[in-house]
Every structure is written in structure tokens, then in C-alpha cells.
Amino acid sequence: MGTTSPEEGDLEMPDRQIEEKQLVQPVNDENLAGNLTTLGNSFIAFVGAGILDLPYAFSKVGLGLGTVVIIGVAIICLHCMYLLVDCKLFLERQGKKIVGYGDVGFHAYGSIGAKIVDVSLVVTQFGFCTAYLILISNSLYTVLEGSPGVVPFIWLCVPGELMLSTLRHLKYLGKFSIIADITMAFAITTVVYYCRKEIGSHTPQQAQRMEANIPMVPYFFGASIYCFEGIGMVIPIQNAMRNKHQFKLVWGLNMVLVTMLFWGVGWLGYKAYGVSIRESVAGNLPPFDRLTAMVQIAISTGLYFTFPVMMFPVYQILESTFFPSVDAATGSTQTMALRFSVVFLSAIVATLVPSFSDFIVLVGSSTCALLAFIFPALFSLKIRGLRPIAVAREGTIIVLGVVAAILGTRDALKRIAG
């Protein structure tokens, strides 16, 4: 998942009582986004670090099967995002105010529904940020010869992230978000350039796996759904759109473009480097090359400044849960200690789980699967009724999501433990 712009992120907060007061934008066309702006915001929200792992994921299942799975995941994710929007519109027709994913969960299953969404969002966002620290450390280790290892780079990130965590308004992170978008765009574009350059110079040991490796499908599922997990932004972006009746058209076009990009980078990277592909395709770029060093530094910079943006909702949810009486605008010593603890915990987890690919598969197969597949189908059946077609369709998605989540999570845990 990519960075979240301040305008989007300000629309969703965990506390049901403060959302309407602080987060709903005025109903004024001047404050709402047009179709093109919405398309751009939606596209940026998806494109993140996970795309660099897709060539490695393709190497596990094969190009053909990988293509089928990633398209299938995209279609189901899009359907579930539409389900969430349909639930929002259904509830609004009943006079309910819906500003975030958690509100849909609340109206489906009460406070428990809201809490399970909030917990899943916290774990997912925390997982994203931890994966960033892992990839930053790997990237810097590649650039700096003779360094003692990847772990010191993880902890070098901590002081700056602690400082950034003291910012209590997302608007102050806006410039950092722009820097992150620019640097990641440069890195991905350069990686694609190198992949295309490499495709014409294969050696026999760089052959690609064309046959389907079915046992690795859960692994590929986790990596794919990690990339597509943008469902938390669906309602905020729809709320911020001027032509809301055209949202599905714009969002559908966005998903087509994102899927083409994910598949294209995955296919190109694996086609270029074959069985020698690394967990991040950036690791396959020519060593001791100035442009390669620039790419690794760009990735590190982009993810470094994405970290506080993606961690922002984690801080908000935890603070509203544990310190509900503290003013969210000013904070307290307790809330600051909480934020510092979250950053330190992320660094500890990154130190214990050095594999970027295995970690994103774990995050993707667990909480991302809940948010992107299982919860939307459950909430839709509860809110919109048990129509026979809906029960069959959403029931299938729930079963598929549960099975894939269990198999993918188990596989990722085995790899991490081993």
C-alpha cells in the first residue's frame, strides 16, 4: 500500500464520537475532489513497497499461475471495496453518518464490529511500517560496503521516527508524504528501466519458472493482497469526491491501472532476473553502480517518510482507546510515551524478522485478508440482508479468504521461524 495524503487521512479516525466533529469535510464543492484528482489519489494510495517484492513472489508460483492469482485477487478486492461502499450508501439512506470503515463495522456488529476493524487496521498499519524498516535496512546495507549488517540500520531510523511521531496533526506530514511519493516513483521507474535492459541478456541459469507451483499459491496470495490492501481508504476517498455517483467507475479504472502496474513490474522483474531474483527486485540492480545507489537511497528515503504517515492512524486508535480523556490536539506525556513505545516495538519486530518478503506475506495473509476479503463480505450480509445470490457469492469469498489466510499465515510463520 502507498502513502496516504493528509487530505485523505484526515477523514478517518477510530473514535466514533469524535469522527463527525473533527473529520467530516464541509459539504462544499470547492473542498471536494474531481474525478481526475480522485483517480490520482486512489492510485498513489496503492503503490508502495510491496510492488518491489512481486517479482520474487512470481518466482515462487510461476508466471502463468501468478498472473491468474493476481488478477483474481484484484477482482475480489474490487468487489469487496464496492460492497463496503454499498453498505455505506445503504446506511446513509437510513440517516446514519459514515466516515470510515469502522463505522460500517459498528452498524453491522455494534462496538465489537468497530473494534475488530480498528484492531485489524492497527496491526496492518503497524505491519506496513515494520516492513518499511526491514526494506530500508536492506537497501542501505546494499549501498554501504563494509557495514556490520542490516540491524544497525534499523535502529538508526528510530531517533528520526521518534521525532516525527511527536507531530500530532497529519497536515504537518504533508511535505514528507510528497517526498515519499516522488522518491518511490523514481525508484520504481528506474527498476523498470533496469529490468527491461536486462531482459535481452539472459544466461541459462536465469531461466524463469513457467510451470505452476500450486503449493506456493498461499504465499503469492499474501504478497498480492498486501499490495492491494487499500480498502481502508475507500470510504474516505468516496466522501472526498465531488461526483460520488461516479465513484465506482473511477475506482474500477484505478484498480485496472494498479493491477496492470503490479503485474507488469512482477512479470518484468522475474523475466529479467529469473531464478536469481531477490526479495526486493532492487537488490538485483547492478552493484557498485551510481544509479543503483540512488535507487536504494530513494527507496530508503521514501519509506522513511512514509513511516510516520502510515503509523498516524495507529497512534490515533491507540490513544483514543487507552487515553480517551486526553485532548487529541495537544496530547500528554502518556500519549507521547505510547507513540515512542510503538516506534520501538516496530524496530524490535523488524530486528527479529529480517526477511522483507516473508514479513509482508505474513501481514498480507492475516490482517490484510480480514480487511480486504472477510469483513466486507460479513458486513454486507449483515447490513444489506441475506439475499440468496449474495449469500452464495459473499459466502464463497469468506470461505476463500479464511482458507487462504490460514494457509498463507501458517506458511509465512514457518518461514520466519525457520
Residue 341 · residue 314 · CB < 8 Å: no
Q: Would you give per-residue pLDDT tens digits along the chain (418 residues)?
A: 665 544 444 444 444 443 433 333 444 555 677 778 778 777 777 877 889 999 999 999 988 999 999 999 999 999 999 999 999 999 999 999 888 899 999 999 999 999 999 999 999 999 999 999 999 999 998 888 767 888 999 999 999 999 999 988 767 777 787 888 889 889 999 999 999 888 877 654 455 555 678 899 999 999 999 998 888 888 888 888 888 888 899 899 999 999 999 999 999 999 888 888 898 898 888 887 889 999 999 999 999 988 998 898 899 889 988 988 887 667 788 999 999 999 999 999 999 987 888 899 999 999 999 999 999 999 999 999 888 898 999 999 999 999 999 999 999 998 888 7
pLDDT, position 261: 93
Residue with cell 492512524: 313
Give CA–CA dist 363/117, Å, rounded: 15
Q: Tell me which long-range contacts 315-322 makes (C-beta under 8 A, separation of at least 24).
A: 315/165, 315/339, 315/342, 316/13, 316/14, 316/15, 317/14, 317/118, 317/121, 317/122, 318/122, 318/342, 320/13, 320/14, 320/15, 320/18, 321/14, 321/118
Residue with cell 444489506: 384
List all residues 6 or more positions away from 414 whose beta carbon is below 8 Å from its beta carbon.
none
- pTM, two decimal places: 0.85
| φ, ψ at 241 (rounded to 5°) | -95, 140
Q: What is the DSSP letter of 232?
A: G
Exposure b/e, 48-68, CB count within 10 A at least 16 = b: bbbbbbbbbbbbbbbbebbee
| Residue 309 identity | V
List all residues 6 or more positions away from 119 whose beta carbon is below 8 Å from its beta carbon.
none
Q: Is the dihedral of CA 117, 263, 308, 277 positive or negative?
A: positive
Q: What is the DSSP letter of 24?
A: P
Give CA–CA dist 296/411, Å, rounded: 29
Longest CA span, the chain? 65
Residue 157 · residue 304 · CB < 8 Å: yes
Grid cell locating 154: 534499523
